[in-house]
Chains A and B, each alone.
Chain A
Amino acid sequence: NAGVTQTPKFRILKIGQSMTLQCTQDMNHNYMYWYRQDPGMGLKLIYYSVGAGITDKGEVPNGYNVSRSTTEDFPLRLELAAPSQTSVYFCASSSGDTSTDTQYFGPGTRLTVL
């Protein structure tokens, strides 16, 4: 199993450009998440999904969009990149077992907006 994979690993964007961060998991997990991590800080939840076709906002959703058309994929879209979106982005997945759930994280995408 590859687990959670993310592409690209690194990206530099100009202000106003758009891009999609890709996330795929092969564990047949229902739940998927997007986090961002600013330097020296903990992770903050951007969006999450509890199953295909269902998404919801997390703590910091502004400036981002998501979709979940399949169980495996959960792309994150930045429409108009801003310097404040410079961060490391982590995708995660979990089974959704409410008593003992564990999140599995991808390796991250380091995004710089100039």
Chain B
Amino acid sequence: DAKTTQPNSMESNEEEPVHLPCNHSTISGTDYIHWYRQLPSQGPEYVIHGLTSNVNNRMASLAIAEDRKSSTLILHRATLRDAAVYYCILDNAGNMLTFGGGTRLMVKP
């Protein structure tokens, strides 16, 4: 399986944008880029996914590099409720997700 590399942790101030990076240099042409997050003491929840083009939804935006070897999850205005572990995952279907360590996002008031 293609692997992803994420920073262990990041900090952000409340109400400011957050850019969470993910490197995936061995991504294959059929791999989708999925982002999930896990709030404290909860199961993971889907955030967003994309293949080649940038994607937006009500939770976040996903910016995908032209060569697809990296991507960035963008939270436009971080809130305290966005403090979570964010996982960047590659999969060609979304069915077999392999979770790495993720990035722990801390949001300061």
| Chain A residues in the interface with B (C-beta under 8 A) | 4, 31, 35, 41-45, 48, 59, 90, 92, 94, 96-108
If over half of B's interface residues share one DSSP class (helix, strand or loop), that class is named, otherwise mixed; here it is loop
Task: Decide: A108 near B94, CB < 8 A? Known: A42-B87, A43-B99.
Answer: no
Q: Is the CB of B43 within 8 A of A108?
A: yes
Query: Which chain A residue lies CB-closest to B43?
Result: A105
Q: How far is the CA of A97 from the CA of B101 in the complex (A)?
A: 26
A6, chain B: closest CB distance, angstroms? 9
Task: Decide: A42 near B102, CB < 8 A? Known: A90-B44, A100-B49, A103-B46.
Answer: yes
Task: Encode contact with A along B19-44: 1 for CB under 8 Å, 0 otherwise.
Answer: 00000000000001000100001111
Q: Is the CB of B93 within 8 A of A101?
A: yes
Q: How far is the CA of A105 from the CA of B36 in the complex (A)?
A: 11
Q: How far is the CA of A74 from the CA of B64 in the complex (A)?
A: 36
Q: 6 tightest A-B contacts by CB? A: A105-B43, A101-B94, A42-B99, A43-B99, A98-B93, A102-B46
Task: Decide: A107 near B87, CB < 8 A? Known: A41-B101, A101-B93.
Answer: no
